[in-house]
Structure formats: structure tokens, C-alpha cells
Amino acid sequence: MANYYNIDDILTEEEFVPVVFHKSANGVIIDPSSETNSVEQGAKVELPLWLAQELYLRQAISISVPACFNQKTRLEIQADAACVDLKFRSPYFYEFGCKIAPLVGDKSVEILLLSAFKIRYKEILTKAYTAAYTATSKFFTLLTKEETNLYEAAQSSMVAFKKWRMGGPRLQRASVLGRKRKLIE
Amino acid sequence: MAGQSDPHISLFSAEEVEFMAEDELIEIVPNMRMDPLNFICGDFGPFLPQIATQVPLWLAVALKKRGKCAIRPPQWMSVENLTRVLEGERDTQGAFQALPFHYVEISRLLFDHARDDIPDMYMVRSLVEDIRDVRIHKVETSLEKFSGTSAVKIPNLSAMEVNIIRPFVGRALQAFYKHDNPEKIPDVDRAPSGHTRVANNEPRRPLRR
């Protein structure tokens, strides 16, 4: 329950997963182009993860592997994990995989995530500490939210250290004291 | 132990680490006479001219600013010792040389305030900077090597270096732990265990309007 209020967790569950309905459902508008407001048995639709989880518990659907973990992505990651654009697939790639894995029952997702993360982590490490300025390289667009957090944490602490090394006044005036309030008559 | 800096990024800012480093004892040679000073952290003095006494660093800097003492640099800050440490850092790839925990902050404070008390100041300063660069580089290369572990132990690292890598290593280890957990995927064939919620499929009563 520690993640209930976590914004990243909520947004992770917003991602779509393909599901197959086992029972038919009435009164739902999932497919805007269909005429009737219902879904038949055996229909394939895309639902957000939070909805899919609940329906899965009621045994109304079965979840298949989402599109971002398909074979094409796997081949790309095996080729060179550091250059794969994971943010395009989904900005919450890793968390999404962790949530999907017990529902789909596919163990290879887990191993894929771990190996991809290990390789990309090395890249993040080298780039975070050596860049003297925030390099607007193509690398940033490839990172998921989690990796971006990691990168920014390292970057900010390095920048703070360099600023301290330069010197400067020990005591700084608080920014709240900057403006003088006018008396309201 | 949280400081005033952003709690999401790191626990201590660089200034806070410097503040804590100022508690280290250092030797001074006063040039005036003063009664003992009684502080909460301890009593220091009496100060007699030309008699060396040990005081905390913040007190030494304050006295130096008022021109009441001369600071004697600590033992480890001599040119020979630092050259030896630098050679050791360059030779051993995995281990770090034993240096005082706050050497970065102490050296910076002494360079700023007690410039004339250190013999061969420029040499000492460049040596300390070199040592620091080599060590940070070593930390980064050793961080690349670990993967898939939950705990990392690096002996002989100084306070400022630890502060630099603290947020990054914390988050990275968390992420590794999350992904590497082998217990996470239950078999789909097993019957649901007690802690998974079982949905209630009874027909629902209409709510009263």
C-alpha cells in the first residue's frame, strides 16, 4: 500500500494491455466505433492496467503480453540495450513489466527487464558524472522515468559539489526576505 | 539527521557536510593569552602564547580570522604524505588509501583561511585535488562493476565522496533489488493463496436513492 499515493505508480497503471474477454459485458463503451454498447465473449480490446487487474481477479478476461514487450522490442534490447528508445514504448517500462509479470505468467519478461536495466545503468553512470553541463544529447529521450530520476539525482549532487568547491558566501540571505511587503491600508 | 536540502534528492548538501567536518580537532598556536572557553561540546584552553592546543576547526578558523592564532596543518597534509597517498591511489585499482574522513572539507577550509600557515601551499593544494580526482574516478569505475547485488561495501571513502554518490547509489540499488527478486512471479496454475483478493461475484443490490 505504500505506492497507493505515488503518482508514478498511478501513471504506470494507466498503460494499455491487450485482453481477451471471457464473458460478455453490457453497458460498457470500450470501442467507440461499435454500434452496441457491449463487448462479446472472445473480443480483443485494449484496457488500462488498473481495469484489467480487477477484471482478471473476477476471471472475466485473460491478459496477453502487451505490445511493448513483444518480439521486436526483445530483439532490439538483445542487440544493444543502451540505444533502445524505451520512452517511446512507455515511460514506465520497468514498473509496467514488474506489474505485468505475475498476471501474464511469462518469466522471460523479468529476465529481459533485468538485463536491459543492467546495461543501461552503466551508460547512465558514465554520462551522469562526466558531463560538465546538462548535455542535450539524444540519450535523454531514450530513458524511462525511473532512469531519468537516477540520472538527475547523480547530476544534481555532482553540480552541488562543484558549486561548493568554487567557494562563495557561507551564509545566504533567504529568498523569502527579498521583497518588502507594502502595508495594506 | 535531515538537513535543509531537498529531501527527495539527497540527505545532506555539501555545505552541511562541511559544517559537520568542522568538528574535527586541529592544532593551533595562539599568539595571545585567554582564559579557558567553556562550550557545550567541551572546554578548551587556557590559551597561552606560543603553546600549541587542540581546538575544533570552527574555533580555529574563527580565531584565525580575528588574527589571534596560527593554525598548524595536520600531519597528513604534508607534501611527502600526500605524494605517497597519490602514488598508492594510482597503483591499487580496487582499494582506497586510508585518509581522514573529512579530508576534502578540512583541506578546503585551511586553504581558504590559513593560506600562509601551510608550507608549499600550491603543491599541497594540487596534490589534494589530484587525489580527489583519482578517487572519484575509482568510485565510478567500481560502481560500474557491481550489478545484481543488494549491498555494496566500499571501505576508506571520505564524507564528501560518499555524499556525492549517495542518492545515485541508493536509487540504483533499490531498482536492482526490485528487478532481481526471484520470488515475484507465482505460477498461474497454483490456486490463489490467502493474501490475494478474491472478487465477490454476487449480484449487487441497487443502491437506495
Does residue A175 lie within any of the structural domains?
Answer: no
| The predicted structure's pLDDT at residue A140 | 66
Does the distance separating the beta carbons of B180 and A114 come in below 8 Å?
Answer: yes
* Contact status, residue A95 vs residue A12, Cβ threshold 8 Å: yes
**Residue A113, SS3 per DSSP:** helix
**Residue A11, SS3 per DSSP:** helix
Of A102, A156, A170, the CB nearest to B9: A156
Does residue A73 lie within any of the structural domains?
Answer: no
A124-175 tens-digit pLDDT: 777 766 665 555 566 666 677 777 777 777 778 888 888 888 766 666 666 6
Shortest distance between the Cα of B41 and any Cα of chain A, in A, equals: 22
Question: Both ends of chain B: CA-CA distance in Å?
Answer: 54
Q: Are residues A125 and A83 in the same domain?
A: yes
**Mean per-residue pLDDT of chain A:** 72
Q: Are residues A104 and A56 in the same domain?
A: no
Does residue A139 lie within any of the structural domains?
Answer: yes
Report yes or no for ipTM above 0.95: no
Average pLDDT over residues A88-117: 71
* Contact status, residue B156 vs residue B128, Cβ threshold 8 Å: no
Q: Are residues A106 and A55 in the same domain?
A: no
Does residue A6 lie within any of the structural domains?
Answer: yes
Tell me the C-alpha to C-alpha distance, in Å, between residue A169 and each of A163, B112, B189. Answer: 11, 12, 65
Does the distance separating the beta carbons of A153 and B10 come in below 8 Å?
Answer: yes
* Contact status, residue B57 vs residue B112, Cβ threshold 8 Å: no
Torsion-angle region of residue A19: left (phi > 0), alpha (psi -120 to 50) or beta? beta
Q: Are residues A106 and A155 in the same domain?
A: yes
A-B contacts at Cβ under 8 angstroms: 91
**Residue B35, SS3 per DSSP:** coil
Q: Are residues A56 and A99 in the same domain?
A: no
φ/ψ of B130, rounded to 5, equals -60, -45
- Domain of A27 in residue numbering reads as 1-64
Does the distance separating the beta carbons of B13 and A156 come in below 8 Å?
Answer: no
Return the CATH number of B14-181, one of 3.30.565.10, 3.40.190.10, 3.40.5.50, 3.40.50.1970: 3.40.5.50
Q: Are residues A13 and A90 in the same domain?
A: no
Q: Are residues A39 and A88 in the same domain?
A: no
Work out the number of other CB atoms within 10 angstroms of the CB of residue A182: 6
Digitized pLDDT (tens) for each residue of chain B, 209 residues in all: 344 444 455 677 788 888 888 888 888 888 888 888 888 888 887 888 888 888 999 999 898 889 888 888 888 888 888 898 888 888 877 778 888 888 888 888 888 888 887 778 888 888 888 888 888 888 887 777 766 566 777 788 888 888 888 888 887 777 777 776 654 444 444 344 444 444 455 555 555 55
Q: The domain spanning residue A103 has which CATH number?
A: 1.20.58.2050
**Residue given cell 548535455 in the structure block:** A135
Does residue A143 lie within any of the structural domains?
Answer: yes
Residue A75: pLDDT above 50?
A: yes
Q: Are residues A58 and A87 in the same domain?
A: no
Q: Are residues A57 and A121 in the same domain?
A: no
Chain A residues with CB-CB distance to B under 8 A?
54, 57-59, 94, 98, 101-102, 105, 107, 110, 113-114, 117-118, 121-122, 125-126, 128-129, 146, 149-150, 152-154, 156-158, 160-161, 163-165, 167, 170
**Residue given cell 556525492 in the structure block:** B164
Half-sphere exposure at residue A110, Cβ-oriented, CA atoms within 13 angstroms: 20
B18 in A contact zone (CB under 8 Å): yes
Q: Are residues A93 and A141 in the same domain?
A: yes
Closest of B23, B190, B187, B34 to residue A105, by C-alpha: B187
Strand partners, A62: A20
User: Which residues touch A75 (CB under 8 Å, ≥6 apart)?
Assistant: none
DSSP secondary structure code for residue B27 in this structure: E
Strand segments, DSSP code E, in B59-150 are: 69-72
Torsion sign over Cα A155, B165, A87, A30: negative
Global pTM value = 0.70
Q: Are residues A38 and A99 in the same domain?
A: no
Residue A60: pLDDT above 70?
A: yes
* Contact status, residue A89 vs residue A73, Cβ threshold 8 Å: yes
Residue A2: pLDDT above 60?
A: no
Does residue A152 lie within any of the structural domains?
Answer: yes
- Alpha-carbon gap, residue B18 to A91, rounded angstroms: 38
